[in-house]
Amino acid sequence: MAWLGNLLGGAAESPTVPMETLLRRVEAAHTEEERQTSLAVVSRLAENPAHKKPIAEGYSILVNVLQNGQCDPDTGRLAIAALSGTVSQGGEPAALPGESTELALARRLSSNPIHLSAITACMQSPHSSLRYYAASLLRGLACASADVCTSVQQSVLSAPMGGASIVDLLKDDREVVRNEGILLAQELCGRTSELQKILTFDGALEGLLGIVSAESDSGSVVVEDALRLALGLLRGQPSNQNYLRETRLIQRLPPLVALQTTDLVLLPDDRIRLVSLVLDVLDCLLGPENPSTPANQAALVPTAALANVTKLALGRVNDGALRIKALGVLAGLLQSNRPLCEQFR
């Protein structure tokens, strides 16, 4: 994973060179090596408050380097790293009252559709490193403010295969790339049902539940993030819940709340958090106000959902809050569902 290493420390440029001069060298470079040499210094200094303002003023030079994702991957990643460092919080105030340099740059980037689309296009690069850094910058922008997040959402929605590029991140073999994709999707999906639907029908749920099924015993926070994102895609979305049933993905949920023999009394904290999140997903599928509840109940009849949830709710698990949550899911399974009520007897 050399592309995630510290590529910024080997630059030949002196950090005493004015930032404006470095940016001009980036713009006027005749070779990729020359451009990368100057970009490496800019990237290394980008999080320093003393350098944020000149980088923010010359940000268009860095965006132009990206060439809509067609740039050299090392050059692109250095340019994006410089933008990310400048957007990251902790710098001096900008000229506008009440607005930091970081937020001012985030708004400049997001208000220019051409520049924002150049960053979004990098997520479709064949190079994992460039996709990772582009996703990281977009997440940083989305976290800056609600209005910037809306602009990023629109850029992803309008980009060719924009939703698919995020799903590709979720399915990347490189763990750090996949994890960044999950965090980006969490930021973008919370405020738009349109993007939730696009990601679902582009295969996001397959990727997320694949992560959960494969790593449920690892105690990884990534599994919890994947479940939170799956919950966000399903809650209040009948079409996405229908997709969950039609693809039989709903059948992957009951095994995740199954108790092992050693679990009957004492569950470790990471296991409690995972089971609790799966119960949250089941609860959103079985709520009394959910029009898809009968169909979801029917899809769960042939599974071990009733048996597994009953053990959680009525057993001797050490966590009272988990048992209460399981009782709520049990009620959702049984409500007006004769086949499951017969099983329960």
Name the nearest CA neighbour of 226 among 271, 163, 193, 179: 179
224: exposed, middle or buried (Cβ count in 10 Å: 0-12, 13-18, 19+): middle
Residue by residue, DSSP assigns 235-280 as TT-HHHHHHHHHTTGGGGSGGGGPPPGGGSS---HHHHHHHHHHHH
Instruction: Please state which of the ranges 76-80, 134-138, 226-230, 317-321 shows the lowest mean pLDDT.
Output: 317-321
DSSP 318: S
| 92-106 pLDDT, tens digit each | 444 444 578 899 999
CATH class, domain 1-160, is mainly alpha
Give exposure, 274-285, as e/b (b: 16+ Cβ within 10 Å). Answer: bbbbbbbbbbbb
292: exposed, middle or buried (Cβ count in 10 Å: 0-12, 13-18, 19+): buried
Provide the β-strand partners of residue 93: 100
Collapsing DSSP to helix, strand or coil, 220 comes out as coil
Domain residue extents for the chain: 1-160, 254-345
Q: What are phi and psi of 327, to 5 degrees?
A: -60, -40
pLDDT at residue 90 is higher than 60 = no
Name the nearest CA neighbour of 159 among 132, 191, 195, 190: 195
Neighbours of 125 (CB within 10 A): 22
Mean pLDDT of the region 75-90:
89
pLDDT at residue 279 is higher than 60 = yes
When comparing pLDDT for 289 and 220, which is higher? 289
Instruction: Please state which of the ranges 46-60, 66-80, 137-151, 286-300 shows the lowest mean pLDDT.
Output: 66-80
| 106-160 pLDDT, tens digit each | 999 999 999 999 999 998 888 888 999 999 999 999 998 999 999 999 999 888 8
Quick one: residue 67, left, alpha or beta (phi over 0 = left, psi -120 to 50 = alpha)? Answer: left
pLDDT confidence band for 23 (50 / 70 / 90): very high
303: exposed, middle or buried (Cβ count in 10 Å: 0-12, 13-18, 19+): middle
Angle between helices 32-45 and 19-28 (to 10 degrees): 150
| 225-241 pLDDT, tens digit each | 999 999 999 999 999 99
Give exposure, 134-164, as e/b (b: 16+ Cβ within 10 Å). Answer: bbbbbbbbbbbeeebbebbbbbbeebeebbb
Angle value at C-alpha 94, between 90 and 97, nearest 5 degrees: 115
Mean pLDDT of the region 29-53:
93
Percent of the chain with pLDDT over 70: 90
- Predicted local distance difference test score (pLDDT) of residue 4: 46
Percent of the chain with pLDDT over 90: 64
The span from the CA of 101 to the CA of 294, in Å, is 52
List CB contacts of 51: < 8 A, sequence separation 6 or more. 19, 45
Contact between 230 and 281 (Cβ < 8 Å): yes
Name the nearest CA neighbour of 234 among 247, 217, 222: 247
Contact between 175 and 140 (Cβ < 8 Å): no
Q: Quote the tokens at residue 264.
A: 């009957």
Contact between 213 and 252 (Cβ < 8 Å): yes
The span from the CA of 117 to the CA of 345, in Å, is 58
The span from the CA of 152 to the CA of 323, in Å, is 40
pLDDT confidence band for 15 (50 / 70 / 90): low
